[in-house]
Amino acid sequence: AQSVTQLDSQVPVFEEAPVELRCNYSSSVSVYLFWYVQYPNQGLQLLLKYLSGSTLVKGINGFEAEFNKSQTSFHLRKPSVHISDTAEYFCAVSRNSGYALNFGKGTSLLVTP
């Protein structure tokens, strides 16, 4: 089975500062990796995904993530955050399309002025 660990439950950061949200995964087979964002009272929106190829993946809203197979990590980064980035961020892993996503517990990003 595949699983995901998000190491930080909350990350406070000042506006325009860089941020990194950490995600480690565990799997005995090749996986696909995803980052989703959830704004209050909304569903999940896909930020980016890694399927294969280049290990640096760029997503929406200026976010990017790097797949590191040796460290089994898929950390999410943004060089300069905005107040509007305040939300819950979920890392997820899947064995293949058609298989369900397994989610981490989420990281709450709080951006303050």
Residue placing its CB nearer to other proteins in the complex, 78 or 104: 104
* Contacts with other proteins, residue ranges (CB under 8 A): 32, 34, 36, 41-46, 49, 51, 90, 94, 96-106
Closest contact distance (angstroms) between CB of 72 and other proteins is: 18
Positive or negative CA dihedral for 26, 102, 63, 8? negative
Residue placing its CB nearer to other proteins in the complex, 15 or 22: 22
Closest contact distance (angstroms) between CB of 34 and other proteins is: 7
Residue pair 12/85 in contact (Cβ under 8 Å)? The answer is no
Distance in angstroms (rounded) separating the CA atoms of residues 27 and 103: 13
Kindly state the DSSP code that residue 101 receives in the 8-state scheme.
Answer: P
Residue placing its CB nearer to other proteins in the complex, 37 or 81: 37
Closest contact distance (angstroms) between CB of 74 and other proteins is: 15
Distance in angstroms (rounded) separating the CA atoms of residues 31 and 47: 17
